[in-house]
Amino acid sequence: MNEMVKLNTTKSEIKEKNDAWVLTWPRVGDARGSHHHTYGQLTPYFKGLVEGRLMGTRCTNPGCPISKGAGEIWLPPRADCPDCHAKMEWAEVKKPEGYIYTYTFVERGGTGLEIECPYYQIDVKLPGVCTMVKSWLVNRDKKVKIGDKVKARFRTGAEATNTCLDLCWELA
């Protein structure tokens, strides 16, 4: 077994329509088994991943009862603020490093899982981000623990899948 987790997936085909990505994800065999999906207003998040950047959104509405216009970053991003329903603004997480908040070791995945088992599924806490980022850890050769430092790793170029799997984490 390799010490690094591999993906068993096929790259999605991307078309752009009105600044939104529309993808065809070949899930099962031929085109009849493909999943067609648009990222809509969240396209900047997925574009950021394939460019090696972690993008989130924040509320800048001074009338918001929670953020008061100075909200922390949300990951995964939201198009609209869940507290005041104003349009969120895009913000980059400049230093995508944090710690493992919780984890589970997945030994047997379900049907259609594109991540090679075994692997760690982790929740990451990042400074300045008000939500937990759920993703996967590329390292599987070491026992991890809550509080371990991690840094973002991006699947870009030929490695990119154009999906949320383009963000993973490695031990720092």
Segment 5-43, tens digit of pLDDT: 777 777 777 788 888 877 776 665 555 666 667 788 999
Q: What does the pLDDT read at residue 18?
A: 81
pTM, rounded to two decimals:
0.83
Tracing tokens 């430092």 back to the chain, one arrives at: 149
- Between CA 104 and CA 138 the distance in angstroms is 13
161 vs 93: CA distance, rounded Å: 21
Distance of CA 160 to the CA centre of its chain: 12
Domain boundaries, the chain: 13-54+93-171
Place of tokens 């090679």: 116
